[in-house]
Structure 1
Amino acid sequence: MHKPPPSPEADDTAIARAWWKEAVVYQVYPRSFADSDGDGVGDLAGITAHLDHIADLGVDVIWLSPHYQSPFVDNGYDISDYRAVSPLFGTMKDFDTLLAQVKARGMKLIIDLVVNHTSDQHAWFADARKSRTAEKRDFYIWRDGTPDAPPNDWQSFFSTPAWTWDDATQAWYLHLFAREQPDLNWDNPAVREEVYDIMRFWLDKGVDGFRMDVIPFISKPADLPENDKALPWEQFYAEGPKLHEYLKEMRQEVLDHYDCMTVGEGNGLSVEQMGRMVDARRGELDTIFQFDVINFLWGREQPRTWTLPEFKRVLRDQSVSVRPHGWNTVFLSNHDTPRALNRYGDPDPAWRQASAKVLHTLILTQPGTPYIYQGDELGMSNYPFTALDQFDDIAVRQGWAKRQAAGETDPSAYLAELNIVSRDHTRTPMQWDDGPNAGFTQSGVTPWLPVHPDHATINAKAAWADPQSACHAIAKLTQLRRDTPSMVYGDYTDLAPDHPELLIYRRWLAKENEGALVALNFSRKTLTWELPKSIHIQGVAYRTDNRANVDGGKIKLGGWSGIVLAL
């Protein structure tokens, strides 16, 4: 598993090549992918049984969301044992089988590394709260005080203060998430060495890297200053004073010894901060999820009306902010967002597949490593929740408790908001066929979240049977990306930045004298765009359907259609 000798350093005009830059990644949320044992919850054996679906999309890497031992207060992001598989998902033997079968299909596997915090059920925290002199006391962040006066005004991401009083030791502990997720003290070298040892354990087992959960939050300022709402909380917590020092140490101690990839969850980071974390000359992370592509859709907390030119500016800024020494990611949804189709596409049945193909054409032709979230390839959409008790997310429960404390009694407004913004929309079960429970689990079993009622028509079996589905489109696009170096390493130029409905850009790789023009229609209208005389077309490399054409120096796109032209 040791890393081969590094390639020569790229100069200021060249981009160093790497397998993880050329890869397409597919995220699996194990709880919702496939249930093999009839308990209503997805598991590792269920994933293994459906690996051909992922491989047939042309995917190179699977990102597996947390599979560890956990009380599941936050759906597995509260880990009680980093070296154990949750019995809910199976056994370590099941994990080993999954990993072997992934490799047998020529794919790689990366797993979540959740080390800003642990579960309060972790052995470290159990020891830490025994006494103020406990061996693991300094593994966490504690402050003295009184039960009625938290150390500062910090808030958690789950609508509560970020401090909980521990009565047994008469002190406060910090948690940026749920009270059951105490933050680790990364200033303690013993904590960092434990994390590095966990990483070695999984890398030696054969995994190919890590998606690092909320990694910008691991370093806290020593004085824990008041924020007083001067910045949004996620920005206030990101890029603490020793973050870069710790990431460099992680690379030197672990990552440089393996041929692996890292992708950080960069919530709260600006594009400039992202550039610092992924600059290869600094030796920190390989790539990162920078969330402007998600956050620009929102006001302070609520969704807002957005325009395509705004979206284009975000894409452009992300594409140029890290080059030539850094690398970007391209994604439109994950387990913490609503469905991409509802946010960027058109979930109307008449336009669903067409817009899903446009969105995946975008993902697979932008600069950066593309990520596809499970179910998006089918055109899955937001679930029509009708009651608060249908949700499983801790953020929903605590959000409603906060509103009730403020005097709200009617949940209808909150429910309407959740039907737009809840992250449970991307956690509903994967739709495999038109049978009971969409083939996710056995007939007669109640799945952990409800199955979308549209599974009779929106499912994997139907998608693969339809040559015009988004699944087939993705398979063609992943092959096109593999065959077209400019799709990976080429520069990016927005050719119509102010057009309100068309997204048109050029990818060009001067070294290969090769490139492509991508034109996408984000509306239901048929639109045309005149090609500049300076652009010379060699032919059509891909089109979403036959409504996308080039004729007489003009591109003509039917509603929600797209075309890729070889240059």
Structure 2
Amino acid sequence: MNKTWWKESVVYQIYPRSFCDSNGDGIGDLKGITKKLPYLKELGINVIWLSPVYQSPNDDNGYDISDYENIMTEFGTMADFDAMLAKAHSLGIKIVMDLVVNHTSDEHKWFIESRSSKDNPKRDFYIWKDGKDGKEPNNWGSCFSGSAWQYDETTGQYYLHLFSKKQPDLNWENEKVREEVYAMMNRWCKKGIDGFRMDVISLISKDQSFPDGPTNGGLYGSFESCVNGPRVHEYLQEMNKKVLSKYDLMTVGECAGVTVEEAKKYANSAGTELSMVFQFEHTALDNGETMKWSTKRIPLVPLKENLTKWQKGLNGVAWNSLYFCNHDQPRIVSRLGSEKDEYRELSAKCIATCLHMMQGTPYVYQGEELGMTNTVFKSVDDFRDLESINAYHELTENGIISPEELFPKLCHQSRDNARTPMQWDDSENAGFTTGKPWINVNPNYKKINAKEQLTREDSVFNYYKKLISLRKEHEIIVYGDYELLLPDDEDLFVYLRRLNNNTILVACNFSENTRNFDYNDIGNGRVLINNYKDINLNDMKLRPFEAFAILF
């Protein structure tokens, strides 16, 4: 059993723009994060994953970077960053930075040079192609709608952007690009950071024939030849050799399109690439027929099947990351739990129990520990997310779906649900800012906020705190094997964890129905955690959204 600190950690993701505003400009900042570090220490997390804080024009909320080694003016200064890092380390909290190197901003100095002329030394830092028959070089579509190619009149060629047209893709085939990226990473590591979360890292290697992708009935083809591309593992092994292996880091790759077999390479136990990956299969189970947009609920049987596949598939050969929420996902209580007053907290605790008791490193997204829910959008004007805004215009203006039919689906699935301000208290703007927030606060902040939950023993916050402490106390929760029970039950998610001579039974009822439940010798177990105030092991019924973990 290969034990490491990052396997035994719990990670908390901070989306800086929405976490805490220290100066009243309506935008969260580094000083705000520093101010709230004692709150995170109280929760018990070990690691912060910090979404991008680098200089950026903010076309995609900081994931379009114009300078990797300066801090976004709205967030503060490098001195503010250094102070935050020092304070976090003093509290025993590590900092993992977001690494965005599939693309840069079109305002990055490399791209400004690259687009200036065909013979500029930086020309091949990006991917430039001639058009075909007066059209784009191929049919690839952008993740943010429209073509993945942008015509540039200066040189009469197209550049590739798998995301916004202001996010041109770097050309990883160019060794000089890789050298620049590794040098930048080394400088951050020497500053004392503790790792990297790597944005869309599975897309950095492109098939150099640039073939058309299947259209699947859409306006544009997919770019399947970019996912897990031909040289991606070569690049990551090179990165590991030149940067990662020199420091004691945690690394996690955001790997769109990753399979279990590919994940065994990315997160191999030999440590030649990354610590772990994010896969997205389970977060796509409620996607709709029109791109991802829907009002569906995540179906439990396919969810169990998928998570079990990853638990079993990586056991002993790679490592899982455990998450439901992040800055790109709607709130999980609204997708898998219940927003009803009588069930919201129970369902938030049920979801947390199910996830945190699995094998892997758990991730908590800001506000998840409070049971925050999706917000209320009154019109398209309320959206700030580029993906949501672009999808609305593309799908409605091309007659694919009516605005009336699309709007509730956007409301349910928009990334903006995760980006509403952190709900600190019941004062104006939820205590996030004294100014006008950059995005509207969720109206339910008066009843869902940290100040109220910190004072209440049975709050969602204190439940997360207990779950996190249990992981530190019981090795079986971190390293134990996993076995699913009742795979076809549409309400119950039940599984076992085993290590040495110990067993943990985890049972979660994801419905509003009371269900009979039987497990041999359950009365002989010790309850580690349960989300109702009472539990009767001699007459076992699982009440609505009831969850518990029992150690034998």
Same fold (TM over 0.5): yes
2:226 is aligned, of 226, 233, 237, to 237
1:531 maps to which residue? Answer: 519
Amino acid at match of 2:520: P
2:537 is aligned with 1:550: yes
2:186 is aligned, of 200, 217, 226, to 200
1:91 maps to which residue? Answer: 77
How far is 1:344 from its partner?
1.1
How far is 1:409 from its partner?
9.7
Q: Secondary structure at the match of 1:564?
A: strand
Q: Secondary structure at the match of 2:517?
A: strand
1:220 maps to which residue? Answer: 206
Contact 2:523/2:537 (<8 A) preserved: no
Q: 2:40 & 2:299 partners in 1: Cα distance?
A: 33
Identity among equivalent positions (%) equals 44
Matches within 5 A, 1:431-510: 431-442=423-434, 445-510=435-500
2:311 is aligned with 1:319: yes
Change in 2 beyond 3 A, CA 1:502/1:145: closer
Q: TM-score when scaled to structure 2? A: 0.96
Q: 1:490 & 1:274 partners in 2: Cα distance?
A: 20
Q: Secondary structure at the match of 2:453?
A: helix
Q: 1:555 & 1:202 partners in 2: Cα distance?
A: 53
Q: 1:73 & 1:188 partners in 2: Cα distance?
A: 26
2:155 is aligned with 1:166: no
Listed as ranges, the gaps of 5+ residues in structure 1 are 1-14
Deviations 1:501-532 (A, max 9, x none): 1111111112xx22311111111222231113
How far is 1:52 from its partner?
1.5
Q: 1:548 & 1:525 partners in 2: Cα distance?
A: 17
Amino acid at match of 1:262: T
1:112 maps to which residue? Answer: 98
2:189 is aligned with 1:189: no
2:353 is aligned with 1:364: no
Contact 1:548/1:558 (<8 A) preserved: no
2:238 maps to which residue? Answer: 249
Q: 1:103 & 1:147 partners in 2: Cα distance?
A: 57
Q: 2:138 & 2:300 partners in 1: Cα distance?
A: 40
2:15 is aligned with 1:29: yes
Contact 1:128/1:140 (<8 A) preserved: yes
Contact 1:142/1:174 (<8 A) preserved: yes
1:413 is aligned, of 391, 405, 409, to 405
Contact 2:117/2:155 (<8 A) preserved: yes
Listed as ranges, the gaps of 5+ residues in structure 2 are none
Q: 1:399 & 1:544 partners in 2: Cα distance?
A: 39
Amino acid at match of 1:387: S
Q: 1:316 & 1:262 partners in 2: Cα distance?
A: 23
Change in 2 beyond 3 A, CA 1:166/1:57: same
Q: TM-score when scaled to structure 1? A: 0.93
Contact 2:103/2:170 (<8 A) preserved: yes
**Greater shift in the superposed pair: 408-417 or 465-474:** 408-417
How far is 1:407 from its partner?
4.2
Q: Secondary structure at the match of 2:74?
A: coil
How far is 1:271 from its partner?
2.3
Change in 2 beyond 3 A, CA 1:401/1:307: closer
Change in 2 beyond 3 A, CA 1:228/1:486: same
Change in 2 beyond 3 A, CA 1:230/1:274: farther
How far is 1:236 from its partner?
4.2
Q: 1:474 & 1:299 partners in 2: Cα distance?
A: 31
Q: Secondary structure at the match of 2:6?
A: helix
How far is 1:308 from its partner?
1.7
2:110 is aligned with 1:135: no
**Greater shift in the superposed pair: 319-328 or 216-225:** 319-328
How far is 1:281 from its partner?
3.1
Q: 1:399 & 1:498 partners in 2: Cα distance?
A: 35
Matches within 5 A, 1:69-84: 69-84=55-70
Q: 1:234 & 1:515 partners in 2: Cα distance?
A: 44
Q: Secondary structure at the match of 2:451?
A: helix
